[in-house]
Amino acid sequence: MTWESFGARLRRAMDERGPLCVGIDPHASLLAEWGLGDDVAGLERFSRTVVEAMADRVAVLKPQSAFFERFGSRGVAVLEKSVADARAAGALVVMDAKRGDIGSTMAAYAESFLHKDAPLFSDALTVSPYLGYGSLSPAVVLARENGAGLFVLALTSNPEGGEVQHAVRADGRDVGATMLAHLAAENAGEEPLGSFGAVVGATLGDLSSYDLNINGPLLAPGIGAQGATPADLPAVFGRAVRNVVPNVSRGVLRHGPDVTALRAAADRFAEEIRAAVDAS
């Protein structure tokens, strides 16, 4: 069976709902702000509320796997239900797990998140290419087979990332640019959008020295609490701005646990993002 590609589903969701991605990041301090315990019951309440508030209106929800895994098997069970419920309500799910390894281990990670029959099957998975881009091959292959996608760490917003991503290769191109070139090759000829995206921080300022036109999505963390604003997007991403999926986590989630307040915050960000992109 041929599955509709992640890129096609994402393009449609972005056009219909706007490009906003909201994180599901139940870290301990945020659970406390919501008046919830730092336990499985609090995790479940938090996740259920975010999915209820967001899954029928935003293009993408992005659960951070680590915040569920820290509770063991019961936390992973909450994650499984959150993923299933979010997808059933129409949101695409990007699993933020940043997996990266080689050979059969990378294949097993891929099976966990990118196989249609997996309990944690997600529309896309974040992955780390820093064992070499070729190490991601099992995930690339399985994503293609199952209509899923990848977001590859390329130019991340954390300050430490530069020591790897800005390292210059023998050919004169830095590592971040090399990852973007690999992704452009993966997406060549795909319409309306390729399924293999890059993670590129919205806080990085002028990126005009990089070719961000990879014919794939650009997942852009950093909006809100990290200091970037929707108005910054055109300057950072240039001609690729219409393929940007801006991620907001705390900027929306701090308005919980009230569902109406969460929705209002997401709607405000979505409108600001739409206005910025349309004006570019």
Catalytic center residues: 98
Q: Which residues neighbour 167 within 8 Å (Cβ) at sequence distance 6 or greater?
A: 174, 175
Calculate the alpha carbon distances from 197 to 44, 169, 208 in Å. 30, 22, 18
Calculate the alpha carbon distances from 36 to 61, 134, 213 in Å. 21, 43, 42
Residue with tokens 């996608």: 149
Distance CA 280, CA 278 (A): 6
Calculate the alpha carbon distances from 273 to 15, 235, 264, 280 in Å. 13, 13, 14, 11
Distance CA 36, CA 274 (A): 33
Chain centroid to Cα 123, Å, comes to 10
Q: What is the identity of the amino acid at 30?
A: L
Distance CA 125, CA 237 (A): 22
Nearest CA among 136, 130, 128, 59 for reference residue 98? 128
Distance CA 31, CA 45 (A): 9
